[in-house]
A = this chain, B = another copy of it.
Amino acid sequence: MASIQAPHDPSGDKIAASQVSGTAVFDPAGEKLGQVYDIVIDKVSGQTDYAVLSFGGFLGIGDRYHPLPWQQLQYHTRLGGYVVDMNRAQLETAPHYDADDIGRWSGGHSRAVDAYYDGGITPGGGDAGLGSAPIR
């Protein structure tokens, strides 16, 4: 049986948004990078466009927030979390914003994130050269 409280349940095809938040995120080598902070959905269609990952910091202080296209996240049953096809170094150069900016989301955010990931992240590959600046 699926369970909205058990994101690690491989048999369920639905999950509550509140349960996605807090789920761990790993790199392809299984190293924990951070966790899902929130998801961003389209108001009309209801499509989940981005998962916002939080990395680093301590108790939210110094955290950085990285929006990734939802399709970048693959659920991994054994790890009990999502795997993204990026390592920590790649993620650090990806579009992000600081805790003070968490309240804002603009079309510019979407374009920056889309451009970065459409540019192609390859496992172990180099920096795509976009989005190294924080999102403002």
Contacts and interface: CB of A to CB of B under 8 A. Distances in A.
A13 B40 contact: no
A89 interface: no
Nearest to A39: B17
Interface string A67-104: 00011000100000000000000000000000000111
Given A14-B105, A48-B47, A105-B14, A20 B41 contact: yes
A4 interface: yes
Given A2-B105, A14-B105, A17-B21, 9 more contacts: A2-B107, A4-B104, A12-B106, A14-B42, A14-B110, A17-B38, A41-B41, A46-B49, A47-B47
